[in-house]
Amino acid sequence: MRYPHCAVGLLACLAMAHSAVAEDAIKTIGEIERIDPAFDTLVPQDAKIEVLADGFEWSEGPVWVKAHDCLLFSDIPNNRIVKWKPGKGTDVFMQPSGFTGAHKFDGKEPGTNGLAISPEGHLTMCCHGDRNITQIVDGERRVLVSHYEGKRFNSPNDLVFDSAGNLYFTDPPYGLPGGLNGPEAELDFCGVYRFSKDGKLTLLTKECPRPNGIALSPDQKTLYVADSQECYWKAFPLKEDGSVGDSQMFYDGSKWRGKRPGGSDGLKVDTKGNVWATGPGGVLVFNSEGKLLGRISTGELTANCAFGPDGTLYMTADMYLCRVKTNAKGLIGSK
- For the chain, percent of residues with pLDDT exceeding 90: 84
Per-residue pLDDT of 169-228, as tens digits, reads 999 999 999 999 999 999 999 999 999 999 999 999 999 999 999 999 999 999 999 999
Order the strands of the 222-227 sheet from edge to edge.
211-216, 222-227, 232-237, 248-252
Residue 265 is among the residues annotated as catalytic for this protein? yes
Do 227 and 264 meet the contact criterion of CB atoms below 8 Å apart? Answer: yes
212 in a labelled binding site: yes
pLDDT confidence of 1, banded at 50, 70, 90? very low
Q: Has residue 10 got a pLDDT over 80?
A: no
- Catalytic pick among 158, 265, 270, 318: 265
* Distance, CA of 105 to CA of 107 (rounded, Å): 6
What pLDDT, on a 0 to 100 scale, did the predictor assign at position 307?
97
What pLDDT, on a 0 to 100 scale, did the predictor assign at position 332?
54
- For the chain, percent of residues with pLDDT exceeding 70: 91
Q: Has residue 91 got a pLDDT over 50?
A: yes
Q: Has residue 147 got a pLDDT over 70?
A: yes
Q: Has residue 40 got a pLDDT over 80?
A: yes
Helix H segments across the chain? 10-16
pLDDT confidence of 18, banded at 50, 70, 90? very low
Q: Has residue 6 got a pLDDT over 70?
A: no
181 in a labelled binding site: no
* Distance, CA of 309 to CA of 328 (rounded, Å): 10
What pLDDT, on a 0 to 100 scale, did the predictor assign at position 277?
98
What pLDDT, on a 0 to 100 scale, did the predictor assign at position 105?
86
If you average pLDDT over residues 1-13, what whole number do you get? 42
CA angle in degrees (0–180, nearest 5) for 181-184-189: 50
Do 32 and 301 meet the contact criterion of CB atoms below 8 Å apart? Answer: no
Per-residue pLDDT of 106-124, as tens digits, reads 899 999 999 999 999 999 9
Do 176 and 184 meet the contact criterion of CB atoms below 8 Å apart? Answer: yes
Do 94 and 105 meet the contact criterion of CB atoms below 8 Å apart? Answer: no
Q: Has residue 3 got a pLDDT over 60?
A: no
Query: The dihedral of CA 299, 300, 302, 307: what is its sign?
Result: negative
How many residues make up the chain in this entry?
Answer: 335
Q: Which residues contact 37 (CB under 8 A, 6 or more apart)?
A: none
What single-letter amino acid sits at 147? Answer: H
pLDDT confidence of 24, banded at 50, 70, 90? low
What pLDDT, on a 0 to 100 scale, did the predictor assign at position 177?
94
150: left (phi over 0), alpha (psi -120 to 50) or beta: left
157 in a labelled binding site: yes
Across the chain, mean pLDDT equals 91
pLDDT confidence of 15, banded at 50, 70, 90? very low
Per the omega criterion (within 30 degrees of 0), is the bond before 156 cis? Answer: no
Which structural domains are found in the chain, ordered by start? 10-325 (2.120.10.30)
pLDDT confidence of 259, banded at 50, 70, 90? confident
Q: Is 205 helix (H, G, I), strand (E, B) or coil?
A: strand
What pLDDT, on a 0 to 100 scale, did the predictor assign at position 196?
97
